[in-house]
Structure 1
Amino acid sequence: MADYIHEMRALVGHRPMILNTAAGALLDDQHRLLLQERADTGGWSFPGGYMEFGASFAETCQREYLEDAGIKVEPVKLIKFFDKDFYTYPNGDQTQLITALYLVRQVGGKPLDHVTNETKRVKYFDLDKVPTLFNGQSNKMVQAVINEVNSWQTD
């Protein structure tokens, strides 16, 4: 079902909605994280987005990563679920975001080199030098990636 979120918003307006999302953490060989500069808010975030009706979290991650970053990915590991984060978009839409964050690997495509309706640009960042992020959940997600990378060094 295409554009499920817009259809639901047409019914409920700006009222609070619980929405499922999925995002991917793609690291290069220097453990830098690929982030997306969002066209809607101007903040940075993980490539990812809302689940469509009938899709899984992993399928959502793959679809949204390709749309947002131009890269075909494969989920390698579920890093963490985030389920108690709230955000009000600039247009007034209120959400509780339930997000599955995956560690992903690139299996095709290349980073976007042009502006789209969702993405201004994509760029790799050192984990200790990420830009201002889109929302609080994105900050928690960066910390989860840092914890994941740190666990590799202790294994």
Structure 2
Amino acid sequence: MANYIQEIRALVGHKPIILNTAAGILVNERNQVLLNLRTDTHNWSLPGGYLEYGETYAEGCVREYKEDSGLDVKIIDRIDIFDRGEVHYPNGDVAQTISALYLVEAVGGATLDHATNETLGLDYFDFDNLPPLLNQQTADMLATAKTYLAHRA
């Protein structure tokens, strides 16, 4: 079902709703994480986004990662589920997000070199020197990923 969230929003307006999301952690050889600068809120988040009706978290992560970054990724591991997160969008929409976080590996594609309707830019950041983030859930996801990666090494 295409544009599932738009259809829901048409029915409920800006009323707070619960939505499922998936995001990926991709690190470079310097152990920096790839983040995207969002067009809607003008802050940084992990490539990822809302699931479409019928998608699994893993399928949504792969699809959204491609949309947000230009990269084709494969899932390496599920890191955790995050269910304490709220996003207030500039248009007035409010959503509690339940997010699955995955460790991903790039397997194709190319990092976007131009702005899209969702991404203004992409960059790698040190886990200890992050830019302004979308919300507390994004910060929690990055902190958990940092710990996860340290134990994985």
Output the TM-score relative to the length of structure 2.
0.97
Cα deviation for residue 16 of structure 1 reads: 1.1
User: Is it true that 1:16 corresponds to 2:24 in the alignment?
Assistant: no
Distance in 1 (alpha carbons) for counterparts of 2:21 and 2:79: 14
Q: Counterparts of 1:21-36 in structure 2 under 5 Å?
A: 21-36=21-36
| Structure 1 residue aligned with 2:50 | 50
Q: Deviations over 1:20-78 (max 9, x none)?
A: 00000001111110000001111000000000001000000000000000000011111
Give the corresponding residue for 1:81.
81
Taking only aligned residues, the RMSD between alpha carbons, in angstroms, comes to 0.8
For each residue in 1:68-126, what CA deviation from the matched residue of structure 2 results, as whole angstroms up to 9, or x when unmatched?
Answer: 00000011111110012122211111111000000000010111000001000111111
Q: Paired residue for 2:67? A: 67
Which segments of 5 or more consecutive residues in structure 2 lack a partner in the other structure? Answer: none
Length-normalised TM-score, structure 1: 0.96
Distance in 2 of aligned mates of 1:32 and 1:87: 25
Paired amino acid for 2:53:
F
Moved more, 46-55 or 122-131: 122-131
SS of the residue 1:103 aligns to: strand
Q: Could you list the runs of 4 or more consecutive aligned residues of structure 1 that deviate by over 2 angstroms after TM superposition?
A: none
Gaps of 5+ in 1: none
- Alignment-derived partner of residue 142 in structure 2: 142
Q: Secondary structure at the match of 2:84?
A: strand
Count of residues in Structure 1 that have an aligned counterpart in Structure 2:
153
Aligned-pair identity (%):
50
| Alpha-carbon distance between aligned partners in 2 of 1:83 and 1:47, rounded to the nearest angstrom | 18
Give SS of 2:108's match.
strand
Mapped to 2, the partners of 1:41 and 1:88 lie a distance apart of 9
Whether 2:66 is the aligned partner of 1:91: answer: no
Partner AA of 2:105 in structure 1: R
Deviation at 1:152, TM superposition (A): 2.4
Aligned counterpart, 1:103: 103
User: What's the secondary structure of 1:61's corresponding residue?
Assistant: helix
Is 1:6 the counterpart of 2:22? The answer is no
Where does residue 116 of structure 1 map in the other structure? 116
Secondary structure at the counterpart of residue 146 of structure 1: helix
Amino acid at match of 1:9: R
